[in-house]
Structure 1
Amino acid sequence: MSLESKQTAIVMLGASGAVGTETLQALLQLKSIPQLTILGRSPIPNISDTAVQQHKINILDVSSYQNFLKGHTAAICTLGVGEPSKISKEEFIKIDKTAVLDFAVACKNAGVSHFELLSSVDISPTSKSFYLRVKGELVAALKALNFERLSIFQPSMILTPTNRYGIAQAVTLKVWPLLKPLFMGRFRKYRGIPVQVLGQAMARNIFKKSTSFELLQWDEFYTISEKE
């Protein structure tokens, strides 16, 4: 699959996280973007690309960033709580659902046609899991906004090169890759995905033709990122 040549102005929310960082770096390497706007709590250092604009915002206050959205054609949202079990359910909803949906609505109102979201495998608005249900409810709400194109990325375990969240993640990062041979057929979606591959996929998918609504999982990540 080859990238389209059309120019696309992109706005990002959540670029400082593990996946957001890799997505941002992949976008910068493409060097074909006329404008890349980064919204966050604080500026990301060491970015000198003239196409990049950064704005310090309050992610919970749409009025702090809505004026920065006009003129963009695509939005990438990788905002999310790294360790949901460490915060209250109310706080999780506020960040992972409300803040994201508010951003999406503002993007839609500003004329953004393509919205990409970092989500999770097995989400469903009827899931018995609180976290998967909230994320499923979010996607249902995003679909109701009727973006021209909506891309939902659904990784299972995201494999980062360093441990960010303590001993439990350290063990998981060691063990999960060893389970890959067990995840065959319809279970392939549970394979761990290197964060670099996921970031490349989110960046490059912006420039590829697709349907109006797409759910992307392990196999699609590798196909889009063109990595073996």
Structure 2
Amino acid sequence: MSDNNSAIVLGATGLVGREVVDRLLHDPRYTEVTCLVRRPLPASLFHDPQGKLNPVVIDFDQLQEYQGYFSVNHVYCCLGTTLKQAGSKAAFRRVDFEYVHVAAQLTRAQRCDSFVWISSVGADASSSNFYLRVKGELENAIMRMPQLPHASAVRPSLLLGKREESRGLESLGQSLAPLFGPLLQGRLKKYRPVSASEVADKMITLQRFTGNGENLGVSV
């Protein structure tokens, strides 16, 4: 397995994104980790003993102009927002669908080894729930994209971890998770709350490393 991989992370300051970047910086298989961000990263956010981190401030509305940064082995897309944060359905869709879809297109254009992004449990393009419908439409759009065979989506339920911003219902869910999580068994097990660190670990295992060339074009 190659120990000379490069990666790009979108959404590096989010709950899962921070976990992904931290792991990549300490993973001997990676020599460079580029983070596309909206604003400069605080120096204290990551421990980078080997100088792998390359933060790049960009305008996500012009993401297609940064295609050159996608000349890497692996793309980790951890972008995501909420309707409350976005302020409207159109703004939500711009982040959770359009930005991620453009990232997948740039991944394909640069012929990266693989692309992994965060979807959601229950994602369904025919759902009456707007959030789940957008997630499902995105899965369909990426999985059907020609010449992007090594793409995978992780589908977490409620994410556990400490966020910088407050999300009311999510905070309540996190406090109740130890009580109701163990009750979800069998077919309901996929709805158990999951830690951001577990999701990060899953994303890394889904990437296509040299010598591990299985086609990952399925949702997980």
What's the TM-score, normalizing by structure 1?
Answer: 0.84
Where does residue 114 of structure 2 map in the other structure?
A: 114
Where does residue 40 of structure 1 map in the other structure?
A: 37
Q: Counterparts of 1:58-207 in structure 2 under 5 Å?
A: 58-70=59-71, 72-81=72-81, 83-86=82-85, 87-146=87-146, 147-161=148-162, 164-206=165-207
Unaligned runs of at least 5 residues, structure 2: none
Which residue, 4, 7, 21 being the options, matches 1:7? 4
Identical pairs, percent: 27
Q: Which amino acid aligns with 1:149?
A: H
| Cα distance in structure 1, aligned partners of 2:27 and 2:105 | 28
| Cα distance in structure 2, aligned partners of 1:15 and 1:167 | 22
C-alpha distance 140-51 of structure 1, shift in aligned 2 (>3 A):
same
Aligned-pair distance for 1:154?
0.2
Unaligned runs of at least 5 residues, structure 1: 217-228
Matched, 1:24 2:21: yes
Matched, 1:215 2:219: yes
Q: Which amino acid aligns with 1:190?
A: Y
C-alpha distance 92-112 of structure 1, shift in aligned 2 (>3 A):
same
| Cα distance in structure 2, aligned partners of 1:44 and 1:207 | 28
Q: Which amino acid aligns with 1:100?
A: V
C-alpha distance 145-183 of structure 1, shift in aligned 2 (>3 A):
same
What's the TM-score, normalizing by structure 2?
Answer: 0.87
Aligned-pair distance for 1:61?
0.5
Q: Which amino acid aligns with 2:215?
A: T
Aligned-pair distance for 1:58?
0.8
Runs of 4+ aligned structure 1 residues displaced above 4 Å come to none
| Cα distance in structure 2, aligned partners of 1:169 and 1:5 | 39
| Cα distance in structure 2, aligned partners of 1:95 and 1:166 | 17
